[in-house]
Amino acid sequence: MLKIATWNINSVRLRIGTVCRFLDEAKPDVLCLQEIKCRNGEFPEKAFKDAGYKHIHVVGQKGWHGVAIVSKRKLEPIAAPRICPKEEARIASALVEGVEIHNLYVPAGADVPDPIGNPKFKHKLDVLDAMKREFKKRRGKAPAVLVGDLNVAPGEFDVWSHKQLLDVVSHTPAETTRLNAVLDAGGYVDLARLHKPDPEKLFTWWSYRSPDWTKNNRGRRLDHIWATTNLAPASKAEAFHIHVPCRSWERPSDHVPVVAGLKL
């Protein structure tokens, strides 16, 4: 079983103790992190190596963004698809056990869903369009997993209120249509919905703005694990988990980890 986890950690150095606690409890083989907020040389490699994750691939950036893949098993960095026109540190790709792993951090897009008046929202749409082009080129080739904070809650049951969030960034039709187009163009299967179909509500993110996120449970499913159609049958339902309790840990990220297991 190859267990792959994804987590927007919102500063890996600030939350390295939290990450190590999760690794000890969940024991994934591979952990893909987003929003690490550090340069390559600042990544806390020693803590990961001490935890048994000796294979590390970091694509960092000063102060913002940044992604990393750490693994117990041999990891071979590979050329990543070019998805970001601004060349920000938003994707890391590696080969583990014959499986391509693409770890992505899609821009949030700020608060106004207007590509003309809001350059950050336009940038987000541009990244999603680039993802469609790039992953379409790879369709039908190597078995692959696409994971990360994609910053889009695509379905009606991926948000606390479909009706109220249709005009809110992360759930607008401009975003959900594009994300579903990436899924289709790349020949991927959304493992969360493979194992936990609609109408079950699934959330991976709860805003820091809520004084008690558990009380109203106004979440969104922004973090995803997809597998190509030639790999998805290897995904086991009993190994798929959204680790919701992590949101209540001390100094938490606003995202929680998602884990999938592949019987290779």
Contact 36, 9 (CB under 8 A): yes
Where do runs of H (alpha helix) occur along 138-172? 162-165
Residue span of the structural domain in which 178 resides: 2-262
Q: What pLDDT was estimated at residue 36?
A: 98
For β-strands 76-77 and 67-71, DSSP reports them as unpaired
Q: Degrees (nearest 5) of the Cα angle 252, 94, 180?
A: 70
pTM exceeding the 0.85 threshold for the entire prediction: yes
pLDDT digits (tens, 9 = 90+) for 66-117: 999 999 999 999 999 999 999 999 999 999 999 999 999 999 999 999 999 9
13: CATH: 3.60.10.10
Q: Are 124 and 84 in contact (CB under 8 A)?
A: no
Per-residue CA distances from 190 to 70, 83, 187, 212 (Å): 22, 20, 10, 29
pLDDT tens, 201-244? 999 999 998 778 888 899 999 999 999 999 999 999 999 999 99
Res 192: pLDDT: 98
Does residue 39 contact residue 24 with C-beta atoms inside 8 Å? Answer: no
Query: Do the strands 223-228 and 219-220 form a parallel or antiparallel pair, or are they unpaired?
Result: unpaired
pLDDT at residue 63 in the model:
86
Q: What is the pLDDT of residues 159-211, one digit of tens each?
A: 999 999 999 999 999 999 999 999 999 999 999 999 999 999 999 999 998 77
pLDDT of res. 146? 98
The total number of structural domains in the chain stands at 1
